[in-house]
Chains A and B, each alone.
Chain A
Amino acid sequence: MISAVGGCAPTDPASQYQEDPEALRRGESVFAGTCSGYCHGMNIVVGDVPNLFDCSWIHGGSNQEIFATITNGVAGSRMVAFGGRLPEGDDDIWKIIAFLKNEASGC
């Protein structure tokens, strides 16, 4: 309890989930089933959608910024708002972020 107050607690669920293999698997599965079919694959060489594994974040790369992008979408693009749409709600979004950050851990 003291340590939490002292600032050692994770600043967001995604950071915590990066240490949780089950959460990472869940994040990967949601990413594979919802995000990667056409829109965000890995190793995309053709197309106009952002590669999420190249350490470059157009709309901000902090976990909170990515959370906001996924939740609210990007106006004027094909990125729609997924907030409230995933089976386990915000938790799934944080697990996706954990998976993405884990895969791109060298950034």
Chain B
Amino acid sequence: MTTRRPMYACLLSLFIAACGGGDGAPSEPGTASAPQEAGEGTASTGKTHWTNDQPIGLGMGPVDSAMLERGLEDPTQWLLYGGNYSNFRHSPIERLTPEAVPNLQVAWSFPTGTDQQFEVSPVVYDGIMYISSSYNRLFALDAASGEALWRYDHPQPPDLLYCCGPVNRGVAISGDAVIMATLDARIIAFHRHTGEILWNTEIIDYHGGYAATGVPLVVGDLAIIGIAGGEYGIRGFFDAYSVATGERVWRHYTVPAAGEPGVETWSGTSYETGGAPTWNQGAYDPETNTLFWTTGNPGPDWNGDVRLGDNLYSDAVIAVDPATGERKWYFQFTPHDVWDYDGNTQIFLIDVIRNGREVKALVQPNRNGYFYILDRTDGSFISAVPYVQANWATIAEDGRPIVNEAAMPTEDPNELVCPSHLGGMNGAWTGALNPGLGLAFIPAVESCEYYQKGITAFVPGQMFLGGLYQLIDVQEGRAFGVLAAIDVATGETRWRYQDPVPLMGGTLSTEGGVVITGNQLGFALAFNAETGEEVWRHRLGGGIRSQPIAYEADGRTFVAIGSGNGRFLESTGAPDIVPEGGQLFVFELP
């Protein structure tokens, strides 16, 4: 008779949320199967590139640095993943109020033709919307009508090594270039009107366990991009590429090499497989000319015995000079992480009043369950307040965790540890921030799990986990989602919406006082930003994992949100009766 112990219940959710890749996760699970199945990757005809030779757009000219620095001041534009360099995702559109949003009507819709999570945050400029899908399809659409203008399906090799789903979260725009990173660890620029490839650069050989799922961040004439692979024992880094030529200008490694400062925080030679991926996007402060980037878990994920020490610079935020990549300061959220608490969740740059003094803050809802407030001028710690159940540690006055020893992974775990490796929040989706209200809106997961460690060996190109987890709260239906409105000056939660299953979709805030997100049951949702009252829900079908935006085009007001969930739904609590398939919905305010 076969005895099966639930302890091993699959790690597939790894793939879903974490490691960036998802990492996602982990972040989301393991090696990919060949992507060229029906409905994925490429069109049935074999055609992979549809360019455009007709005049399109409104004649707005190239995107310059000043436009990027203005962020969302112009409602006809959504240029950055985070909306602005501070990642507020806060639309200036005042018409999107709690009273008006229930009147939203579908204006048009567009299929991606691919399965797995549709995590995009669309970019809108010059009357054109750019969306990317899982498996790196890229579409240019008329932002008002939805007409397809050009398209590129990235030909994927059959042996991709992403951890957590074949996702892509969107593109960057700069000059006349639209820039996308790919699962096979390339970064490619396209002409924003023709779709022609301007340059195509390999970031790194993906066979080492690397994938790029995030969105490049353009600062000046550089496109900054991170990498996933925290479950493969990579050496993490983030790079800057010339927007004009695609040449790499600098690389910042997130794990020190032998002889470098910080290597003493890794026992033996464990730094060689230290992980610390960089799969989410950072933030930029033009005032101090500082780029902030975040890092993920050390490897192996759940067995820290082989990497004793703090494991710098994993699970940290690193401030660098954007011109050189040289580090100014760092702050590590989870030293010696053994729970897969990637520090890659969204960071917001916001000035707040603390004890009567203005603080130039960097705030983050960390995956470890605490909402951090740091001084972004020097990385000094100000406060950390739990925003979901967190029993793995308390946080000392200097910001260092005081770890609950019972929460450490063991070979025979019997302690439910919160949050689970999914988070809290997770870098696979976004929050938003209404600066007028001083509230950050954070979709998150409330769940606990068992962490089991085991003996592991590093094999290049294989997952390097050192254990496994049991998402017991998800399996037994106790996990749920929350949308938390958090006071960014104090970290205290002002209101919370509770959803039946973990929330894994991004958020949009509006000047009209609305927060828009979506859940894994397939509903687009809207809330009164001040009170948390639900004001609208609309069934889209597929579970929502995308990042909604708002914009104006042709004198009309639109909200765009994508639906389409991944395959490993049993790991997230989402219903598996709904088929996969990405679909963008664009609503219009009458």
Contact A33 B1 (CB under 8 A): no
A26–B468 CA distance with the chains assembled, in angstroms: 16
Instruction: Return the contact of B461 from the options A29, A43, A80 (Cβ within 8 A).
Output: A80
**Knowing A29-B455, A30-B454, A47-B12 touch, does A38 contact B29 (C-beta < 8 A)?**
yes
Q: Which of A6-14, A15-23, A58-66, A99-107 lies at the interface?
A: A99-107
B129 sits at the interface (CB 8 A): no
B274 sits at the interface (CB 8 A): no
Contacts of B10 in A (CB 8 A): 38, 41, 43-47
Contact B457 A32 (CB under 8 A): no
Contact B468 A43 (CB under 8 A): no
- Residues of B354-387 whose CB lies within 8 A of A: none
Contact A55 B467 (CB under 8 A): no
Instruction: Return the contact of A34 from the options B9, B14, B454, B461 (Cβ within 8 A).
Output: B454
For B460, the closest partner residue in chain A by CB is A80
A32–B412 CA distance with the chains assembled, in angstroms: 11
B431 sits at the interface (CB 8 A): no
A105–B456 CA distance with the chains assembled, in angstroms: 25
The binding surface of chain B is classed by DSSP as loop
Instruction: Return the contact of B2 from the options A25, A39, A53 (Cβ within 8 A).
Output: A53
Contact A29 B9 (CB under 8 A): no
Contacts of A33 in B (CB 8 A): 300, 302-303, 453-456, 465-467
How many residues on the B side are at the interface (Cβ–Cβ under 8 A)?
43
Min CB distance B309 to A, Å, is 19
Contact A42 B463 (CB under 8 A): no
**Knowing A42-B4, A80-B461, A82-B457 touch, does A32 contact B12 (C-beta < 8 A)?**
no
B537 sits at the interface (CB 8 A): no
Min CB distance B295 to A, Å, is 21
Min CB distance A76 to B, Å, is 10
Min CB distance A68 to B, Å, is 17
Contacts of B12 in A (CB 8 A): 38, 41, 44, 46-47
Min CB distance B530 to A, Å, is 41
A74 sits at the interface (CB 8 A): no
A43–B568 CA distance with the chains assembled, in angstroms: 13
- Residues of B1-44 whose CB lies within 8 A of A: 1-12, 14-15, 26, 29-31, 33
Query: CB-defined interface of B32-66 with A at 8 Å, one 1/0 digit per residue?
Result: 01000000000000000000000000000000000
The binding surface of chain A is classed by DSSP as loop
Instruction: Return the contact of A37 from the options B458, B459, B467 (Cβ within 8 A).
Output: B467
Query: CB-defined interface of B500-529 with A at 8 Å, one 1/0 digit per residue?
Result: 000000000000000000000000000000
Residue picked from A31, A32, A104, most chain B C-beta under 10 Å? A32
A87–B458 CA distance with the chains assembled, in angstroms: 10
A45–B11 CA distance with the chains assembled, in angstroms: 11
Contacts of B7 in A (CB 8 A): 42
A37–B31 CA distance with the chains assembled, in angstroms: 11
B567 sits at the interface (CB 8 A): yes
Min CB distance B100 to A, Å, is 41
Contact A41 B8 (CB under 8 A): yes
For B475, the closest partner residue in chain A by CB is A43
For A53, the closest partner residue in chain B by CB is B2
Instruction: Return the contact of A46 from the options B30, B453, B456, B568 (Cβ within 8 A).
Output: B568
Contacts of B99 in A (CB 8 A): none
- Residues of A79-107 whose CB lies within 8 A of B: 80, 82, 85-87, 92, 103-107
A72 sits at the interface (CB 8 A): no
Contact A106 B2 (CB under 8 A): yes
A39–B461 CA distance with the chains assembled, in angstroms: 13
Contacts of B303 in A (CB 8 A): 33
Residue picked from A32, A33, A55, A92, most chain B C-beta under 10 Å? A33
A104–B3 CA distance with the chains assembled, in angstroms: 6
Min CB distance A104 to B, Å, is 5
A82–B9 CA distance with the chains assembled, in angstroms: 23
A62–B511 CA distance with the chains assembled, in angstroms: 67
For A35, the closest partner residue in chain B by CB is B454
**Knowing A32-B453, A37-B465, A80-B462 touch, does A43 contact B9 (C-beta < 8 A)?**
yes
B321 sits at the interface (CB 8 A): no
Contacts of A46 in B (CB 8 A): 10, 12, 567-568, 570
For A47, the closest partner residue in chain B by CB is B12
Contacts of A107 in B (CB 8 A): 2
Instruction: Return the contact of A38 from the options B6, B11, B411 (Cβ within 8 A).
Output: B11
Contact A43 B8 (CB under 8 A): yes
**Knowing A39-B463, A55-B2, A105-B1 touch, does A45 contact B570 (C-beta < 8 A)?**
yes
10 more A-B contacts (CB under 8 A) besides A32-B452, A47-B29? A28-B411, A32-B467, A33-B300, A33-B302, A39-B30, A41-B8, A42-B5, A87-B455, A92-B455, A103-B4
Could you name 28 residue pairs across A and B whose Cβ atoms are closer than 8 Å?
A28-B454, A29-B455, A30-B455, A32-B8, A33-B300, A33-B455, A34-B456, A37-B11, A37-B30, A37-B301, A38-B12, A38-B15, A38-B231, A38-B465, A39-B30, A39-B31, A41-B8, A41-B468, A42-B6, A42-B9, A44-B10, A46-B568, A47-B568, A48-B33, A55-B2, A80-B461, A85-B457, A86-B455
7 smallest CB-CB distances across A and B, nearest first, come from A33-B454, A32-B454, A106-B1, A37-B465, A42-B8, A38-B30, A33-B456
